[in-house]
Amino acid sequence: MNQAGLLLLLWDALQHRETTFGQVIDLSTACGLDGRRVLADHFRGFPCE
């Protein structure tokens, strides 16, 4: 899957309460992002950079 597809999967995963932290971290890593930062920004309500 290409980068855009992975980012869409990550965004979709963040929309569902059933998504685990581990899933978000794994998808973030696959996208080249720091999963901890993605989770922190998501829960703070910061927009993506």
33 DSSP assignment: S
Query: What mean pLDDT do residues 29-44 have?
Result: 93
Q: Are 34 and 28 in contact (CB under 8 A)?
A: yes
Look up tokens 């979709």; give the residue. Answer: 12
Question: What is the mean pLDDT of the segment spanning 21-46?
Answer: 92
With cut-offs at 50, 70 and 90, classify the pLDDT of residue 45.
confident
Residue-level pLDDT at 47: 64
Q: What is the pLDDT of residue 10?
A: 95
pLDDT for position 1: 83
State the pTM of this model: 0.80
Contact status, residue 28 vs residue 38, Cβ threshold 8 Å: yes
Structure-block tokens of residue 30: 């696959």
Query: What integer pLDDT is reported at residue 48 of this predicted model?
Result: 57
